[in-house]
Amino acid sequence: MNPATADTSIVTNLLLSVMRAFAEFERVLIRGRPRERIAMGNQRDAYRSRKKALSDGRIVELRRRAEALEPKTALTHEFGISRACARVMVSGRQHSI
């Protein structure tokens, strides 16, 4: 084995090891950033569910009036909701809209 080649391979291995370590360090930093942002968002209460469009009492009233065959367009204007939202609430399905 040539001594010059041996020195080159040692230096090459050293450089590759340093580059691998730096790349792993960067990956750890990149993975940690979203966790930090989520933790900060939780502290300022940024991840909360959407407010209901209508209270439970108003949903009952909407269903009663829809069953009484009142025009749905008038109901949606009065309650301040979309037709799609009214359709879901009147059908009795999950009303998370």
Are 62 and 78 in the same domain?
Answer: yes
Q: What is the pLDDT of residue 95?
A: 46
Could you report the per-residue pLDDT of 71-81, keeping only the tens digit for each?
A: 988 999 998 99
Q: Is residue 30 a part of any domain in this protein?
A: yes
Q: Is residue 21 a part of any domain in this protein?
A: yes
How far CA 47 is from CA of 38, 40, 42, 63, in Å, comes to 9, 10, 6, 31
4 — pLDDT class (breaks 50, 70, 90): low
- The total of structural domains in the chain comes to 2
97 — pLDDT class (breaks 50, 70, 90): very low
Could you report the per-residue pLDDT of 22-72, keeping only the tens digit for each?
A: 999 999 999 988 888 888 888 887 777 778 888 889 989 999 999 999 998
pTM over 0.75: no
Domain limits for position 66: 56-91
Are 69 and 37 in the same domain?
Answer: no
Q: Is residue 60 a part of any domain in this protein?
A: yes
Q: Is residue 78 a part of any domain in this protein?
A: yes
Q: What is the pLDDT of residue 3?
A: 59
Are 13 and 40 in the same domain?
Answer: yes
Question: Which has the closest alpha carbon to 58: 86, 21, 32?
Answer: 86
Are 44 and 60 in the same domain?
Answer: no
Q: Is residue 97 a part of any domain in this protein?
A: no
